[in-house]
């Protein structure tokens, strides 16, 4: 005769074990959820859009780097052309910005001032000399630096191997810096004409 008590005890133990396993699985799942949630909060946000620079700050940074047109500054800052022109007019009135272009190509640049570092002044002088032929006095007025410092910057640029030309025939030098990617026609003479031989055997150029 089978032992009903033993069988009942075994069934009860199995039921208890199954319940414990089920409870343990649920607890593990809950703990995993908590851990994953913690990882989500601890994980650095990499998909967020980078903080956008203040429009006026971006305009100043651009003008400190190189002369720029109002249209380019509008595209850079996200402002309208009218807003950029108003900002430029305000900076020109305060003396922070200089008008450095030509009537046909108006541009503006930041006046780095006499307190600028040699490197900062040299970079701006270089940009201005690439823009158009310009005198040392004009460079001093547009950068806000002393003429002696500007002259020193021009000399340093010449010593660096840059192609700096004096386009004036008077005692007042007008400096022009040929960009690195530009070609000087004087340095690249035209190739000689092709020669041909006549029936008489003479070579004609």
- Nearest-angstrom CA–CA distance, 14 and 9: 9
pTM: 0.64
pLDDT at 34 over 60: no
Q: What is the pLDDT of residue 169?
A: 87
Mean pLDDT computed over 41-48? 49
Q: What is the pLDDT of residue 45?
A: 47
The mean pLDDT of the chain is: 80
3-state helix, strand, coil in the chain (%, to 5): 50, 10, 35
**What tokens does 39 get?**
């990882």
- Look at the domain 112-183 and name its fold: Arc Repressor Mutant, subunit A (1.10.10)
- Nearest-angstrom CA–CA distance, 148 and 34: 69
**What tokens does 57 get?**
């700050």
Q: What is the pLDDT of residue 53?
A: 75
Residue ranges of the chain that CATH labels 1.10.10.10: 54-111, 112-183
Using alpha carbons, select from 138, 159, 161 the residue that is nearest to residue 150.
Answer: 138
Long-range contacts from 157-164, C-beta under 8 angstroms, 24+ separation: 157/122, 157/125, 157/126, 157/129, 162/126, 164/129
In the beta sheet, which residues pair with residue 164? 177
- The 10s digit of each residue's pLDDT in 122-165 is 999 999 999 999 999 999 999 999 999 999 999 999 999 999 99
- Nearest-angstrom CA–CA distance, 62 and 108: 10
Assigned CATH class of 54-111: mainly alpha
- The 10s digit of each residue's pLDDT in 54-101 is 999 999 999 999 999 999 999 999 999 999 999 999 999 999 999 999
């Amino acid at each position: 005769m089978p032992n009903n008590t033993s069988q009942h005890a075994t069934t009860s133990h199995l039921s208890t074990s199954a319940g414990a396993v089920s409870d343990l699985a649920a607890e593990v799942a809950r703990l995993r959820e908590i851990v994953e949630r913690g990882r989500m909060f601890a994980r650095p946000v990499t998909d967020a859009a980078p903080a956008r620079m203040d429009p006026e700050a971006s305009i100043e940074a651009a003008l400190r780097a190189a002369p720029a047109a109002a249209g380019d500054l509008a595209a850079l800052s996200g402002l309208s052309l009218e807003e950029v022109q108003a900002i430029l007019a305000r900076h020109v009135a305060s003396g922070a910005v200089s008008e450095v272009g030509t009537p046909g190509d108006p541009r503006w640049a930041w006046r780095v001032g006499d307190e600028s570092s040699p490197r900062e002044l040299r970079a701006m002088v270089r940009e201005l000399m690439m823009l158009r032929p310009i005198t040392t006095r004009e460079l001093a007025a547009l950068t806000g630096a002393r003429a002696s410092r500007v002259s020193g910057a021009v000399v340093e640029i010449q010593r660096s191997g840059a192609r700096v030309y004096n386009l004036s025939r008077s005692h007042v030098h007008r400096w022009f810096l040929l960009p690195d990617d530009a070609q000087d026609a004087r340095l690249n003479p035209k190739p000689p004409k092709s020669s041909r031989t006549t029936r008489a055997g003479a070579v004609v150029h």
